[in-house]
Amino acid sequence: MKTGRDTMRPALPGMMPGLLLMAGVLLATPPLARVGCAAAGPVEIVCITCHGGQAGHLGAPVALWRQSVHAGNGVACNDCHGGDPNGKNAEEAMDPARGFRGVPKEIEIPAVCGNCHVGVMNDYLASEHGKALGSGGPTCVTCHGNHKVVRASLDLINEKDCSRCHSYDRAKLIRDAMVRTEGLIVSAGEAVTAFKDEGADVERLEKGLFSLRNRFHTLFHDQDVEKVRRESARIDAELAKIDSVLKGISETRRHRKVVGGVAVAGALLAALLFHLLKKTYD
């Protein structure tokens, strides 16, 4: 997979003085302000500095992109639009000879995103949506947006967005098949985190849950209700196993608390007896 970080690495040497300056500023600022800076994301490349100062549709993408999961993971303008983030001016930065491809056309969008999200792209292309690419089907940005791409969730499947091109019925079938499993994954995650905070060894459970969660979140793009139902049922069965291990942990902990309580009561009783005995002999 070609990641944003790989493509951004060449940008570093040329920006070293800028980085040193930034580091100086960061060290001089109080901790809270530093948190704000870190959240601003990757290095400022020329695309961002120039477009950030443009009005209207040329500048708007910058503010939107800053709020995206991509900005936080080092995926920047040139990762989708091509071009040279080290270019000295607009001509160099947006030179087709340096890979600049401008605004992708509708039918090109899945390939642009699929550069990194290969599995999702393949599922999408094989689905009814992918087959209708260019003839009324949605592309990745219809559902996820182009610049303000955020973490995906079932909230993306809703009546307003999914009834634009067809009835909501079939969208609802998929959502209904996923919503129960989604809830189970979330509550198992919360229980595991709580035990972890208490110091319990939950590493294996955590790994198991992580891979189940990933398996679950790859189901949507096929648009295949039967497959979603079948796989969700399998995942539910795995989750039930995790749940019974969690119940076991909480039983042991309660037991330990009772035993601990008895020990403390015993010690107090002994202290009291000692005190009384001491009094009688004094």
Residues 62-101, one symbol each (x = binds ligand HEC by CB under 6 A, - = not), give: x--x---xx--x-xxxxxxx-xxx---xx--xx-------
Distance of CA 221 to the CA centre of its chain: 17
Least distance in angstroms from the C-beta of 66 to ligand HEC: 8
Query: CA nearest 37: which of 45, 46, 50, 28?
Result: 28
223 counts as binding ligand HEC under rule CB under 6 A: yes
DSSP-derived 3-state class of residue 146 = coil
Query: CA nearest 184: which of 114, 115, 227, 233?
Result: 233
218 counts as binding ligand HEC under rule CB under 6 A: yes
DSSP secondary structure, 141-168, as one string: HHHH-SSS-----GGGS-HHHHTSSS-S
- The residue type of 52 is G
Binding to ligand HEC in span 107-126, by CB under 6 A: 109-110, 112-117, 120-121, 124
Inter-CA distances, 135 with 150, 172, 280, Å: 26, 23, 98
When the beta carbons of 90 and 264 are compared against ligand HEC, the nearer one is: 90
Binding to ligand HEC in span 163-192, by CB under 6 A: 164-166, 170-171, 174
Residue whose entry in the numeric block shows the structure tokens 């909501």: 168
Binding to ligand HEC in span 147-166, by CB under 6 A: 147, 149, 151-154, 156-157, 161-162, 164-166
When the beta carbons of 132 and 273 are compared against ligand HEC, the nearer one is: 132
Binding to ligand HEC in span 33-62, by CB under 6 A: 46-48, 50-51, 57-58, 61-62
Inter-CA distances, 65 with 128, 251, 282, Å: 29, 47, 81
Least distance in angstroms from the C-beta of 206 to ligand HEC: 16
